[in-house]
Amino acid sequence: MAGLVMVLRVRAGLCQHHSLGSTVPSLFSQRVALHPDKPALVDDHSGEVWTFRELAEQSHAVAHWALAQGWEPGDVVALYLESRPWW
């Protein structure tokens, strides 16, 4: 029963975000603004922690790199990456 309640809550939240026109980047930006120094990712092997601010900075760096490659908003690309930080 608890699992069903959780699924319904998540579903309701997704519907609300969809109706507001929210996107993953906009929701992430909101989290960064609310909790810039809160841990966002923790590497389970090294224990290294990245805050929302640090993750946003790295995301922006990757976006600028992609733009420098000539990619434009709306382009479809595939990236083959290891499941680890590269910076």
Report how far apart, in Å, the C-alpha atoms of 87 and of each of 27, 34, 46, 53, 58 are: 24, 25, 14, 15, 8
How does pLDDT run across 23-37, given as a tens digit for each residue? 888 989 999 999 999
pLDDT above 60: residue 87:
no
3-class SS shares of the chain: helix, strand, coil, % to 5: 55, 10, 40
pLDDT, position 36: 97
